[in-house]
Chain A
Amino acid sequence: MERNINGNKDLTQPKNMNRRDVIKGLATLPFIGAFAGAWVRKNSVEKQLKNKMLEVVNLTSEPVDLAPAVLGSKPLRLGIVGYGIRGRQLLRATGHAEPKWIDDSKAAAVENPLNTSYDDFMNQEGLDVVISGVCDIFDIYAGDAAHAGSNVSKEGTGGKMDAAPRRYRTYKEMMASPDIDAVIIATPDHWHATMAIEAARNGKHVYLEKPMTWTVPETYELVKAVRENKIVFQLGHQGRQTESYIKAKEVVHKNILGKITLVEVCTNRNDPNGAWVYPIHPEAGHQNIDWQQFLGPAPYHDFSLERFFRWRCWWDYSTGLNGDLLTHEYDCINQIMGIGIPDSVVASGGIYFFKDGRTVPDVQNVVMEFPGRDLTFLYSASLASDRQRGKVIMGHDAHMELSDRLIINADPQSTAYKEKIQNGTIDPQIPIYTFTPGKEGVDGAVSATEQYFASRGLLYTYRQGKRVDTTFLHMREWVNCIRAGIQPSCNIDRGFEEAITAHMATIALREGRKVYWDREKQEIVVS
């Protein structure tokens, strides 16, 4: 071996290939072997852990499939009553948008590539429906609805338009029309049941926005009308289509949470829009709003643009937090657990932040008891704090947090998982199951980073490209059911439960008393 001027052995100078050279050339390869060994061991440990977790939570890993579309012999002829905020969304779910919306959403996508509403809409599956009639008592909205309905080819401003749907001046004319097969009702709450009953009596299928009804008596009447006329009825709780809720139902069914005694659901909003202080259309006035028709079953009041556009703030037209937001939360839990109507309800709240003349509370709590199931359902709402509290189903063995994702953690004091917690298979701090829509497969361990991203809406479902809107799926289910002659997921029975439950909460709140449900007589009883 040569030595250099420092007297050190020259370790870098190969002269001739000999055994020593080979050893030096391959000197670091054992590290690669060690790496491979360590990696294989790590994998096997993780696999064992995963298998042990699968013993605890073993759910179907297939994504929820879309039922195949049912094809009709000819397009279904739809009418829409009410073309406000929700009406626009519902018409888009049928594949119809105003050219201006197309322009705006296209521009929004250029500005922010994460805004995919334009692509989502353009790629949305067609339902083979036509908009044959529109009805809105505000002339501008009626015109917008007709414009959207005639935009069959989804064009922007200046594009090709089909024949405009007929504008009906009153809902009664539309319901009686032989040119309409089915109607979408997206009016203020005080009109929901009246219109749906009229539609059912005329044999029209109904997609009705929530809440189902505004008063208790009309709830029974609507149920009767839907049943007697054998129409296909869908109540607008699009949460029925949320993949995580469908998974959650399986979780409860498989008793992974143990005995469930408490469910907590919440509403948290903190901006004027969330508190129903919607913008007033600058061109709206006496001349283009049919105020008498707006009032309908509501008590008389002088013309008021505020009341017309922000009707959710007054009991005269609204069902308050109970009809507007509790119903979504309730229907979610009813879908997952099949809780039905509570035995009793108490409620309280007040107008604590938006002191703008409204009559419905902006902060409110409702407690429902289901003694037959040993269950309490707690609803807590604030329109003046955005602190998200989520939906939690609490069982003796585990609890489940629900959103568009689903996270289950074992309870440290669980009886069923006691042994597994003791031997370290289950760590109550780490979820035993998480589900994220769009992610292929499911697993127990999700990295902290993934959790962080998901909780901030940066879901990698984006990568799969195609996001499907639950409102579209809900509308699609209704249309499919009409063609197949069956009832959809949020049918009149679920609607009856939703309506009665919301009314019990409102009566309890407004009368300050405990409200009971008489199962025998199917009647609400006030203490």
Chain B
Amino acid sequence: MAKAYSGRDYALAQLIFLVLLRVSIGWHLLYEGVVKIINPDWSAFGYLMDSKGLFAGLFQSMATHQGILQVVDFMNMWGLFLIGLGLMAGLFTRFSVICGIILLSFYFLSHPPLAGIQYIIPQEGSYLLVNKTLIEILALFVLLVFPTGQAAGIDRFLRKNKN
């Protein structure tokens, strides 16, 4: 992203809203992580079992293998926590954004809002093909192509140190 870093320039308003977008997504993922970490009974089991669509079998088989489920649980809890923290602080921002996209894509693929599909977990809105997870993924793509970690974030110091 060296090119974007050196060549991109933002107006103040552009920077403010890009950073706010980054911080908000970070806040959301961080809290999702924290909630799972502090709940000793939390497991992705139910969510995975409720998978539908093309990859449902894959996600369900993750749930039913104890060892894999434990890894999935761990990756979810700490993945969300660290990605959230990274986005908020602007630390390893680009890496955090990419990890966020990957993690959220798993959620989207396991619960695609296809016509005629009902989930056990109640959904709080009405969705057809596009849902908030997809929008959050796309927002992260925006943050990938409009990076802000070095403009407002700890990454600024890292760049500095490299120099």
Contact = CB atoms under 8 A, between A and B. Distances in A.
B135 interface: no
A470 to B, nearest CB: 22
A29 interface: yes
A28 B152 contact: yes
Contacts of A440: 40-41
B49 A458 contact: yes
Contact of B66 (A114, A453, A465): A465
Contacts of B152: 24-25, 27-28
A456 interface: yes
A73 interface: no
B27 A35 contact: yes
A4 B65 CA distance: 56
B154 interface: yes
A449 B121 CA distance: 6
Given A12-B5, A25-B157, A32-B85, A456 B120 contact: yes
A11 B31 contact: no
A27 B19 contact: yes
Contacts of A462: 45
A452 B122 contact: yes
Interface string A63-76: 00000000000000
Contact of B9 (A4, A21, A439, A452): A4
A228 to B, nearest CB: 51
Given A32-B85, A440-B41, A453-B120, A460 B46 contact: yes
A448 B122 contact: yes
A17 B162 CA distance: 12
Given A11-B12, A453-B120, A25 B153 contact: yes
Interface in B67-95: 69, 85, 88-90
A26 interface: yes
Interface string B23-40: 100110011001000001
Interface string A514-526: 0000000000000
Interface in A142-196: none
Nearest to A17: B160
The binding surface of chain A is classed by DSSP as: loop
Contact of B160 (A14, A31, A448): A14
Size class of the contact patch on chain B: 35 or more
A450 B153 CA distance: 38
A21 B10 CA distance: 16
A39 B49 CA distance: 30
B131 interface: no
A31 B85 CA distance: 10
Interface string A443-483: 00000111011001010101101000000000000000000
A8 B156 contact: no
A39 B84 CA distance: 14
B49 A35 contact: no
Given A12-B151, A24-B152, A35 B90 contact: no
Contacts of B22: 28
B132 interface: no
A389 interface: no
Contact of A35 (B5, B9, B88, B121): B88
B43 interface: yes
A419 interface: no
Given A448-B122, A452-B121, A458-B46, A11 B10 contact: yes
B3 interface: no
Interface residues of A, number: 36
A372 interface: no
Contacts of A14: 150, 156, 159-160
A32 B89 contact: yes
Nearest to A42: B31
A439 to B, nearest CB: 6
B156 A25 contact: yes
**Residue of A24, A39, A460 with most partner-chain B CB within 10 A:** A24
B150 A113 contact: no
Nearest to A464: B41
A17 B121 CA distance: 50
A31 B12 CA distance: 19
A386 interface: no
Contacts of A439: 41
Contacts of A458: 45-46, 49-50, 120
Contacts of B11: 6, 8
A21 B85 contact: no
A114 B89 CA distance: 42
Nearest to B70: A463
A10 interface: yes
A86 interface: no
B88 A113 contact: no
A227 interface: no
Interface in A27-44: 27-29, 31-32, 35, 39
B89 A113 contact: no
A253 interface: no
B9 A12 contact: yes
B160 A11 contact: no
Contact of B64 (A10, A29, A114): A114
Contacts of A25: 90, 152-157
A9 interface: yes
Contacts of A449: 46, 121-122
Contact of B45 (A13, A31, A32, A460): A460
Contacts of B66: 465
Given A14-B159, A25-B156, A31 B23 contact: yes
Contacts of A32: 85, 88-89
Given A460-B45, A462-B45, A12 B10 contact: yes
Contacts of B151: 11-12, 24
Given A11-B9, A453-B46, A21 B156 contact: yes
Given A6-B9, A114-B64, 15 more contacts: A14-B156, A14-B159, A17-B157, A21-B157, A25-B90, A25-B152, A25-B156, A31-B88, A35-B31, A113-B61, A449-B46, A453-B120, A460-B45, A463-B45, A465-B66
11 contacts: A11-B10, A12-B8, A21-B157, A25-B156, A28-B22, A31-B88, A35-B30, A449-B121, A450-B46, A460-B45, A462-B45
